[in-house]
Structure formats: structure tokens, C-alpha cells
């Protein structure tokens, strides 16, 4: 059952959203979605200050990290994710597999916020650290190792594309594909993230027709993909289709890196 759950996770897009636990955390998450960040943070901070257990405190810290992500604050998000990582360090003895995995997840989550915020140097540091932490898992399986390598190559390709380095992006895409093809149990669940990668790279390198073709093969229910498609349509001068996708993204309720990027951007585009 645990391995099935883990196949749903990729690059900081978690099936279990930050702040999704107690009623107070759910309320704070909803306030962030509504753009009421100060109110949300007051609740998150209270939950941190009054947490009954270290895990509850870490969960609230993670929720607060995502609150700052809604305002593209890479630095504050990273500071808070660092505190969550510190909690998982304390769980290494009792939950070695999960503890290292979660440390890697939190680092990748910070990386995702940073790349979406435009801080590419910070994103690169966080992605590398996430991989290093995840690979420390004792008795890590070959599939899980390939997953971490896939994630890192995926990130490196996107970073290279953002920097306009086509050759580096293509090499990283090839590395990502090799890692994907080496998977057995996890491969099917991870395949959907490959056209997201090639579409993202094509978009940032200026091949908008190819970007649209690839992104249409990615998860169409993902608000981040919807934003990428909307942006691609704008580049193709099809503002009507772009608006259609911005409207889809604006409906997201996700309190995670996807929602933190997509919701404010889509609403700004539609204003």
C-alpha cells in the first residue's frame, strides 16, 4: 500500500496537501486560496505555537511554508521547509525509509516554489539537496533510486530551459528518459510527467507549437499544466483559448506548490 501511495508523488506535487489535517489548518489553507494571506498565516502560526506533538507542529510549519509560496516567497518557504526537514531528521531511527523520503520531498517542495518564483539558483540548490536526502534511504529500491534521479534530471532540464541553454536541457531530458525507462513498478505512474517536461522545455525555448502538442499529453487536470498551456496559447496569439485555460487554473483549490503558482497567476490574468 505504501508503495502505491508514493507513486502519486512527484516533484513536490503531493497527493496529501500541506495544511490538510486539522480544521484550523484546513481553514488557513482555504484563506490562502482566497488570497487572505495575513489571516491564513495567523492561524498557521497559532497552530505551530500550540501544537500538541512535534509532527503536528511540522505539519503546521509546512502549511505556513505554502502560505508564503502563494506570494512567490522562495526564501521564507525554504526557511520553513528547513524546519520540517529538521523534524524528519528526528524520525530517522524510528522511520528510516519514510524519514529520508520526506526530507527529500520537503527539499523538492521548496525547490518547486523557488523555480516557479524565478529564483533559479535557489531552486537548483534545493533540488540537488532533495535528491541527496532521498537517496540516503536505507535499503532503497532500484525503482526509488531511479525516481530520485528522474526528478533531478527533470528539474535540471527545466532549469536549463529557463536559462536558455538548449544543449543542457536536451541532455537532461535524455537523462530523465533513461531513468524513467529503468523503472518497473513506478514507471507507469511517472510517465505522465515526461510530456510535461518536454512541453515545459519547448515553451521556454520558444518552440510553442511543440510545447502545445506535448503539454496536451500531460495531466489536463493539473492547474500548473493548465497555466503552461494558457501561456503557450498566449505565445501563439490565441487569447480566447488562453483565457479558457486560465479560467480552469483559477478554479484550483490546491494548497501546494501547484496551487500556490497557478491560483494567483490565473486570477491576475483574468482580472
The domain locations on the chain are: 1-140, 192-271
Architecture of domain 1-140: Alpha Horseshoe (1.25)
Burial of 217 (0-12, 13-18, 19+ CB in 10 A): middle
* Signed CA dihedral, 89, 119, 167, 213: sign only: positive
Chain segment 177-197, per-residue pLDDT in tens: 999 999 999 999 999 999 999
The pLDDT, as a whole number, for residue 15 is 33
The pLDDT, as a whole number, for residue 11 is 38
d(CA 11, CA 207): 24
The pLDDT of 244-260, averaged and rounded, is 98
Domains 1-140 and 192-271 share a fold: yes
The pLDDT, as a whole number, for residue 262 is 98
CB 92 within 8 A of CB 99: yes
The pLDDT of 111-120, averaged and rounded, is 98
Determine the CATH number of domain 192-271.
1.25.40.10
Per the structure block, which three cell numbers stand in for 45?
502560526
What is the pTM for the complete model shown?
Answer: 0.92
The pLDDT, as a whole number, for residue 2 is 34
Amino acid at each position: 500500500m505504501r508503495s502505491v501511495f508514493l507513486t502519486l508523488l512527484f516533484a513536490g506535487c503531493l497527493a496529501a496537501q500541506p495544511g490538510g489535517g486539522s480544521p484550523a489548518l484546513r481553514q488557513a489553507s482555504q484563506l490562502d486560496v482566497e488570497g487572505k494571506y495575513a489571516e491564513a498565516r495567523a492561524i498557521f502560526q497559532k497552530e505551530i505555537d500550540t501544537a500538541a506533538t512535534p509532527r503536528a507542529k511540522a505539519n503546521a510549519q509546512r502549511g505556513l511554508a505554502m502560505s508564503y509560496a502563494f506570494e512567490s516567497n522562495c526564501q521564507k518557504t525554504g526557511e520553513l521547509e528547513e524546519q520540517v526537514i529538521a523534524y524528519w531528521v528526528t524520525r530517522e531511527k524510528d522511520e528510516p525509509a519514510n524519514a529520508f523520503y520526506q526530507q527529500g520531498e520537503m527539499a523538492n517542495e521548496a525547490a518547486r516554489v523557488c523555480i516557479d518564483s524565478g529564483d533559479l539558483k535557489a531552486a537548483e540548490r534545493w533540488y540537488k539537496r532533495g535528491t541527496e536526502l532521498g537517496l540516503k534511504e536505507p535499503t532503497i529500491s532500484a525503482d526509488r533510486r531511479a525516481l530520485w534521479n528522474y526528478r533531478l534530471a527533470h528539474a535540471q532540464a527545466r532549469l536549463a530551459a529557463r536559462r536558455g541553454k538548449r544543449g543542457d536541457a536536451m541532455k537532461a531530458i535524455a537523462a530523465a528518459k533513461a531513468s524513467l525507462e529503468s523503472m518497473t513498478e513506478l514507471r507507469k505512474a511517472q510517465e505522465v510527467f515526461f510530456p510535461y517536461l518536454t512541453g515545459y522545455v519547448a515553451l521556454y525555448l520558444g518552440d510553442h507549437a511543440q510545447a502545445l502538442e506535448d503539454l496536451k499529453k500531460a495531466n489536463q487536470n493539473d492547474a500548473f499544466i493548465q497555466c503552461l498551456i494558457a501561456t503557450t496559447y498566449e505565445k501563439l496569439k490565441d487569447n480566447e483559448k488562453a483565457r479558457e485555460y486560465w479560467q480552469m487554473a483559477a478554479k484550483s483549490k490546491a494548497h501546494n506548490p501547484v496551487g500556490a503558482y497557478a491560483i494567483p497567476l490565473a486570477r491576475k490574468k483574468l482580472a
